[in-house]
Structure 1
Amino acid sequence: MRWLWILPLAVAAAIFSLSAQSQYPGGIQLPPPLDKVAHATVFGALALALDLTLRITRPDLPLYRRHLLVLAAVSLYGASDEWHQAFVPGRACEFGDWVADTVGGILALTAGSLHLLVTRRLGALSWWRGRRRRPDPARDLILVADPHWGATLTGLEAATAAHPEADWLFLGDVFDVWVGLPGMETEGQRAFLAWVEARRTAGRWVGLWLGNREYFLDPHAARFDLMGEGIGGTLEGETLAWEHGDLINTADRQYRLWNLASRSGLLWLVFRLMPGGTARRVSAWMERKLRTTNAAYKLAFPREAFRAAAEAHPGMTFLTGHFHTREGEANGLALPWAHEGQFMVWREGRVEDL
């Protein structure tokens, strides 16, 4: 799909061509602030073209990282465009034009994400890296959904000792909150990553699909055989599909908005600029808020929405965590809360208690 790069390149070339002229095509005059609106519009179009192209050609990029790359490219191109105009007779090189270019990119990316508040078409915020094929699909695949661990990895050591040959798939919310930024990780999270390394060294496949309590973990993707987020979890050659489950209920607009905001490039920048102690306190506050907010949607299992999501994977077993209760609809199964070491297993094409 590399040919898609023709789209943003064509938009960039059109902007360059316009900036080489002393006036707008047809002699159009755009007094302030309409001239700034024009700048914002064309650079917004460039941002959307870049975002679409990166989404399709680089499915390994999380939403926040993709948006930061797009915004950086648009802003830098806007700066070069202003420098270019300085050599065009009759054109002024204004700082305000560059600001309009950058703001146009921000507004376009924001507007281009609004559909994610109301739809199940969530490819724009979904990503994955790694291997979708297990070395031996006949092995047991232990399924761990929502353990919400703190300092103690309840049940993990016992299950590992009892099933040393098994592969592992974690369906999200592994810890109460896990922020993958320097200085944010806890001893429990470091112990879990050491366990993952030991399992992989032993030749076992380990996957992690992120939930609503994991943030910016993609720097750890290479530590796992597979890491992903959003929808679209599958294994090649196996009739198994999954997602965490937090995006099943399209009626939960409050959570959808929080999900977008909390995984945005803006929040990543804020956390990166915070001192480590402040960032940890903010993370703890987020965890407390997550326990008590939006209770009406958390208490009721979205049965119809879950069934529709499952039926979108015909011929497969569709799994989620998130709901902390065992529920079944059509070909779908919501796994129970693994807080007390209650793990499940995918064995010979069926899901069973471990």
Structure 2
Amino acid sequence: MRFRGFWLLPLAVAGTIFWLSAQSHYPGGIELPPPLDKFAHAAVYAVLALAMDLALRHTQPGLPLYRRHLLILAAVALYGVSDELHQRFVPGRDCAFGDWVADTLGGALALTASSLHLLVTRRLAALSWWRGRMRRPDLSRELILVADPHWGATLTGLEAATTAHPDADWLFLGDVFDVWVGFPGMETDPQRAFLAWVDGRRAAGRWVGLWLGNREYFLDRHAGRFDLMGEGIGGSLEGEALTWEHGDLINTADRQYRLWNLVSRSGAVWLLFRLMPGGMARRVSAWMERKLRTTNAAYKLTFPRKAFRAAAEAQAGTTFLTGHFHTHEVEANGIALPWAHEGRFMVWRMGEVEEL
């Protein structure tokens, strides 16, 4: 079975750790003087963390990277504590706080190292996630596409399009607001109004999806309010030749942004925001929005045509969509949607993308 197969490795590693902790010496009478014994602890728990990461990626596709890593670190730390306590009952073994620190640090370093390839590759399954339904109940309905509206105080164009197309489904391709951080107390009145609009559309039987962009942070707590929420690569609809992503991860040459993307969505930043007073968190959020306006201007002003075409051709047989670039471009089977800032929406209708 899928679950058993992927969890056999972490269970085997955990069992090996437990067996080793029950021995008074390492196998073969090996003696590791300090600090080599700490390196041994770190290495073993690094393997455990990587094995758990592999299992969770394949069995829990709805876990964002930051939640997955926090869960693994908590499990590694707790198992390390139990391992050290177990050694109290083994003749010749000492329970050492330094060993537990090495255990936890080993897990953290392993997870960090395993994420470094995400700075330079298009193989981004490790940071991608989705929850909900990748199928619309009625494929004959129009699907309104909204890319990068960057709403501030008003939801420009939303009410007018809803009134004109009451039967349509909706797909938002990210950067819905200038910045949106999904912590209680940090959301604005327009963001709450948008979520209320989503509730209303879904109550009316319409399908609403949100694929997160580079201006959305930690919104997975709202996943249940959408029919589909996801992040990274891999957006698609069953029964329709339509695939998508936000577009911020298309250009592998933009490593400065890739690094920012990983750090800003990490478990460490999530914890930092959770511990901040509300006022400070809102000020940091505003600072992030200002920085996002001006960073990496050279990459933002030039459409990465070659990288975009390669990403589109990797989704052969589909219409591949992105937002992010604020320009309407067509390459092979790929379409970069225009900026929806002034209510310029598109629509997927009868297998074609058109102006709404």
Give the shorter-chain TM-score range: over 0.9
Task: Show CA shifts across 1:224-248 (max 9, x none).
Answer: 0000000000000000000000000
Separation of aligned partners in 1, 2:250 and 2:58:
23
Amino acid at match of 1:112: S
- Find the partner of 1:290 among 292, 305, 310: 292
5+ residue gaps, structure 2, are none
Please report the TM-score for the alignment, with normalisation by the length of structure 2.
0.99
Q: Which residue of 1 aligns with 2:189?
A: 187
Q: Tell me the CA shift for residue 55 of structure 1.
A: 0.4
Runs (4+) of structure 1 exceeding 3 A deviation are none
Q: Which residue of 2 aligns with 1:107?
A: 109
Separation of aligned partners in 2, 1:29 and 1:296:
55
Q: Which residue of 2 aligns with 1:177?
A: 179
Q: Which residue of 2 aligns with 1:27?
A: 29
Q: Which residue of 1 aligns with 2:136?
A: 134
- Find the partner of 2:20 among 18, 21, 39: 18
Separation of aligned partners in 2, 1:91 and 1:330:
64
Q: Tell me the CA shift for residue 254 of structure 1.
A: 0.4
Q: Which residue of 2 aligns with 1:85?
A: 87
Q: Percent identity?
A: 82
The alignment partner of 1:76 has SS state of helix
The alignment partner of 2:210 has SS state of strand
Task: Show CA shifts across 1:83-142 (max 9, x none).
Answer: 001111000110000000000010000001011001000000000000111010110000
Alignment partner of 1:304 is 2:302 = no
The Cα RMSD (Å) is 0.4
1:208-287 residue pairs with structure 2 within 5 A? 208-287=210-289
Q: Tell me the CA shift for residue 28 of structure 1.
A: 1.1
- Number of matched pairs: 354
Alignment partner of 1:117 is 2:140 = no
Q: Tell me the CA shift for residue 151 of structure 1.
A: 1.2
Separation of aligned partners in 1, 2:58 and 2:259:
23
Q: Tell me the CA shift for residue 26 of structure 1.
A: 1.1
Alignment partner of 1:76 is 2:78 = yes
Separation of aligned partners in 2, 1:322 and 1:194:
25
Amino acid at match of 1:314: A
Q: Which residue of 2 aligns with 1:167?
A: 169
Q: Tell me the CA shift for residue 295 of structure 1.
A: 0.7
When structure 1 is superposed on structure 2, of 168-177 and 26-35 the one drifting more is 26-35
Task: Show CA shifts across 1:202-228 (max 9, x none).
Answer: 110000000000000000000000000
Q: Which residue of 2 aligns with 1:64?
A: 66
5+ residue gaps, structure 1, are none
Separation of aligned partners in 1, 2:25 and 2:119:
40
Task: Show CA shifts across 1:279-307 (max 9, x none).
Answer: 00000000000000111111111111000
Amino acid at match of 2:345: F
Please report the TM-score for the alignment, with normalisation by the length of structure 1.
1.00
Separation of aligned partners in 2, 1:23 and 1:302:
57
Separation of aligned partners in 2, 1:251 and 1:280:
31
Alignment partner of 1:144 is 2:146 = yes
Amino acid at match of 1:74: V
Amino acid at match of 1:296: A
Q: Tell me the CA shift for residue 29 of structure 1.
A: 1.2
